[in-house]
Amino acid sequence: MPRTSIIPFGPQHPAFLEPLHLKLQLEEERVVGVEPSLGYNHRGMEYAMEKDWKRNFFLSERVCGICSFHHSTTYSQAMEAMTGTQAPERARLIRIIMLEVQRVTSHTLALGHMAEAMGYENLFMQFFREREEFMRVANEVSGNRVHYCMNWLGGVRRDIAPELAKSIEQRMDATQGRLEELAKVVRKDSTWLKRTKGVGVLSKRQAETWAVVGPVARASGLSYDVRQSGNAAYAMDGTKFKPVWREEGDTWARCMVRMDETLQSVALIRQGLGLLREGPIESKFKGNPTGEGFSRDEAPRGELMYWVKANGTSSLDRVKVRTPAFMNIPPLGEMLMNEQFANVPVIVVSVDPCICCTDR
Amino acid sequence: MGMMRRSIINLFSRPYTSKYPKVKAQLPEGNRGRVEWNMEDCIFCMLCQKNCPTVAIATDKAGGTQSITRNRCLACSRCVEVCPKKCIRMVPEYSEPVLLPEVHVYVIGMKKWDYKVERIDTKTRWR
Amino acid sequence: MIDVRDKLRQAESLGPARLISIFPVDNANGTLDIIYMFQVGSEVVQHRYAIREDEELDSLSDLFKGALNMEREMVDLFGLKVKDVEGGLLLCPESGVIRPLRKPAKQTDERKEGGDA
């Protein structure tokens, strides 16, 4: 009768960049039990955010490095919902443009990391070359490549000059062709298909029970995206936003959803730049806020929610951050059952874990 | 044959990477870097110290100095925005690694935008 | 909280409910508000319950498996009691940090064995 052995897939591992611990029970190369363990990166962000509501515009960015502008924007939108301030139209469009630039950098990093986990180093370098163009765009608009520091209550703090907007539009046209070439590789390349088709399946019923969000949910048949409705809706120019979704539920579908969303983001950046009109970029707010407010946004990994309660002083009563990676990591137990051991890094990377978001 | 074609093209073209640190990093204008004071116009209202999110600025009215702990500065430019006399500016700079935390001290009487560099010894004091 | 399950079943006539979050808010006088946030259709629905700090809560993890980690976080950071749910998600038992997000009653000023500021 076969014996089971327990292998720690530990917080330090060459295939993984995130400090996540999995205790795998193997029966001769097949996984029969999984126990994930979190908490390696807990910094107490919710406690630190209660001290000063003005410092939080910069502190909330530092919860995560790859979706930092999404955290900052969601916090600003939660404070704006609490105080009843409305950001002007130009500020909203600048926020949408920078959010989509960040989404492209995050998705190309996730796909490049996926190629690296499979051993496909050439494709990893190609993805990072395309990503570099968007990092330079972010550098020219906000002054920094990663933490943009552009948000404040009621608008944004830096503007996009008209010459810069024209130069960004021209570069988007050039990058689109190269990204479509890479999309063809993700769709048809035989190495990629052999490692990702039919691997790590999450059915629609399981996705609903585990309440997953983001590309993991959209690859399993739940066509849900925060950008469709609510106060963060992307109804630019009268057109409705159509999310990208698939039905297969395996690793290939998740990667394909991310690749299609990258191309969709390039089109959204171009659309946003074309809609920019003259106007103010900030509406003033004086004093300290009071009350409760919440806001949701579609981060690259899924739905991000901030709930804030203030009491009229310079500190806050409660800040709750519900990050998307927190919901996507527990279903790993279902996805990894009865898979080969060599597929474990590929499946874990396809879920796009971000432990600094999970542990805050 | 997408990857094969792209690999052959890449084999015969120039490399995309640059030889940093022999070649300096190209910073666009408007890059965030270092904050500088013009001590001739400073009125010591201490608004920059109150609004700094990381408590990096220390104003000394009696001694007439402004000092900024470089490692704590995020380059968020809140101090530039709130200064009533507009005597603070931000210049693009690619900050180099240092062995000990640095403090830039601006004293009344020095040349405009000039500063002196002090080092904090982390064994005795880390503010 | 048997009440939450009943309210959910009434709301399900509008469409399936999706769990967004479960979290407590400390009122600094010995009571807490537990907020259950769901999405039904295209609306966000919040159910609030006021409890004392020593009451035991019922777990939603048989209806929604994703609620288990949220309840473990409540047990860890706030010291609440949830049926059949143990803490240990984010804090180590040997770290000495106990219930860091609870606020003391409004007369005193120190935190109860919280972390460093």
Question: Could you please report the per-residue DSSP string of B26-94?
Answer: -PPTT---EEEE-TTT-----HHHHH-TT--EEEETTTTEEEEEGGG-----HHHHH-TT--EEEE---
Residue type for position A246: R
Nearest to A184 among B2, B30, B31 (CB): B2
Give the count of Cβ contacts less than 8 A between chain A and C: 65
The confidence score (pLDDT) of residue A230 equals 64
CB contact under 8 A, A52 and B53: yes
Per-residue pLDDT band at A259 (split at 50, 70, 90): very high
Chain B: residue whose CA lies nearest to A120: B3
A75 Cβ neighbours under 8 A, 6+ residues apart: A56, A57, A60, A151, A295, A306, A308
A296, A309, A326: residue with CB nearest C69: A326
Chain A contacts to B (CB-CB under 8 A):
52, 54-55, 58-59, 122-123, 126, 129, 132, 136, 139-140, 143-144, 147, 149, 157, 181, 184-185, 188-189
A212 touching C, CB under 8 A?
yes
Cβ–Cβ below 8 Å for A211 and C64: yes
Share of chain A above pLDDT 90, in %: 25
Q: What is the pLDDT of residue A74?
A: 92
CA-nearest of B96, B109, B81, C39 to A302 is C39
| B8-64 pLDDT per residue, tens | 888 898 888 888 878 887 888 888 888 888 888 888 888 888 888 988 888 888 888
> C33 in helix, strand or coil?
strand
pLDDT of C81: 83
Distance CA B57, CA B52 (A): 7
Name the helix (H) or strand (E) containing C28. Answer: none
Look at residues A124, A103, A126 and name the one whose alpha carbon lies nearest to residue A114.
A124
pLDDT for residue C113: 41
Residue A131 pLDDT class (50, 70, 90 cuts):
very high
- What pLDDT shows up at residue C110? 43
pTM of the full structure = 0.90
A333: chain C residues, CB-CB within 8 Å: none
- pLDDT attached to residue C115: 40
Residue A340 has pLDDT above 50, yes or no: yes
Q: Looking at the domain assignment, is residue B49 inside a domain?
A: yes
CB contact under 8 A, B53 and A136: no
Pairing of strands C56-57, C81-82: parallel
Do A and B touch (≥3 CB pairs < 8 Å)? yes
Which whole number is the average pLDDT over A41-60?
89
ipTM of the complex: 0.85
Its domain, for residue B111, covers 31-119
In chain A, % of residues over pLDDT 70: 97
Does a structural domain hold residue B8? no
**What is the tens place of the pLDDT at every residue in B83-111?**
898 888 888 888 777 777 788 888 877 77
Domain total for chain B? 1
Q: Is residue B89 part of a domain?
A: yes
Residue B105 lies in a domain: yes
**Burial of B61 by CB count in 10 Å (0-12 exposed, 13-18 middle, 19+ buried)?**
exposed
**β-pair type (B65-69, A151-152):** unpaired
Secondary structure, 3-state, chain A: CCCCEEEEECCCCCCCCCCCEEEEEECCCEEEEEEEECCCCCCCHHHHCCCCCCCHHHHHHHHCCCCHHHHHHHHHHHHHHHHCCCCCHHHHHHHHHHHHHHHHHHHHHHHHHHHHHHCCHHHHHHHHHHHHHHHHHHHHHHCCCCCCCCEECCEECCCCCHHHHHHHHHHHHHHHHHHHHHHHHHHHCHHHHHHHCCCCCCCHHHHHHCCCCCHHHHCCCCCCCHHHCCCCCCCHHHCCCCCCCCCCCCHHHHHHHHHHHHHHHHHHHHHHHHCCCCCCCECCCCCCCEEEEEEEEEECCEEEEEEEEEECCCCEEEEEEECHHHHHCCCHHHHCCCCEHHHHHHHHHHCCCCHHHHHC
Residues in chain A closer than 8 A to B28 (CB atoms)? 136, 139-140
Cβ <8 Å between A47 and C101: yes
In 3D space, the residue among A301, A107, A119 whose CA is nearest the CA of residue A194 turns out to be A119
pLDDT tens, position by position, A341-353: 888 889 999 998 8
Confidence (pLDDT) at A101: 92
- pLDDT in the model for residue A237: 66
Ranges of residues in chain C whose predicted pLDDT is under 50: 108-117
Q: CA-CA distance, A293 to A295, in Å (whole number)? A: 7
Tell which residue, A261, A354, A345, has the closest CA to residue A66. A354
For the stretch A91-114, pLDDT in tens is 888 999 999 999 999 999 999 999
Tell me which residue in A58, A126, A188 faces B6 most closely, judged by beta carbons: A126
Q: Which residues of B touch A188 (CB under 8 A)?
A: 2
In a domain, B43, yes or no: yes
Which CATH number belongs to the domain containing residue B45 in this structure?
Answer: 3.30.70.3270
Contact (CB<8Å) A140/B30? yes
Q: Is A318 on the interface with C (CB under 8 A)?
A: yes
pLDDT value of position C16: 75
Contact A211 C18 (CB under 8 A): yes
- In a domain, residue B54? The reply is yes
Asked if the structure places residue B47 within a domain, the reply is yes
Task: Decide: A53 and A60 in contact? Cβ < 8 Å.
Answer: no
The whole-angstrom separation of Cα A117 and Cα A123 is: 11
Q: Do C23 and A307 touch (CB under 8 A)?
A: yes
For residue A220, give the nearest of A265, A193, A256 by alpha carbon.
A256
The mean of the pLDDT values for chain A is: 88
Whether A320 sits inside 8 A of C19 (CB atoms) is: no
Asked whether residue B124 is domain-assigned, the answer is: no
User: Is pLDDT at B75 greater than 60 in this prediction?
Assistant: yes
